[in-house]
Amino acid sequence: MTYVVTDNCVKCKFTDCVAVCPVDCFYEVDSQLVIHPEECIDCGACEPECPVEAIYEEVDLPEGKESAIEFNRISTEDNDRNITETREPLPTADARYRELSS
């Protein structure tokens, strides 16, 4: 199994997860990060680092978030936007964090 990024990451792009990934399997799309399913080694280091709880092991996805599996797979195909170091989150990240935390 692999870890996947769900739509909780939309409007955030916090990169705390990227900093701890030992295999650099995170990629960027316009509004969020995704995990390349063939590069993820299922170590789980990223999951607790996400402040908006957007990362789940595939088998533990909450109900209604199953589409994230296919979204991560499709979004990493032919994607050269591999992200390997932390960056500033999107300007909307703090508001999104508050929205998801309430």
State how beta strands 3-5 and 55-57 pair: antiparallel
> Looking at residue 59, which CATH number applies to its domain?
3.30.70.20
Q: Is residue 81 part of a domain?
A: yes
Q: Is residue 32 part of a domain?
A: yes
Q: Is residue 73 part of a domain?
A: yes
Domain that holds residue 80: 3-89
Render pLDDT for 42-73 as a digit per residue (tens, 0 to 9). Answer: 999 999 999 999 999 999 999 999 999 999 99
Q: Label residue 61 exposed, middle or buried (CB < 10 Å: 0-12, 13-18, 19+).
A: middle
Write out the H or E segment, with its range, that includes residue 17: helix 16-20
Q: Is residue 96 part of a domain?
A: no
Confidence of residue 79 (pLDDT cuts 50, 70, 90): very high
Q: Is residue 57 part of a domain?
A: yes
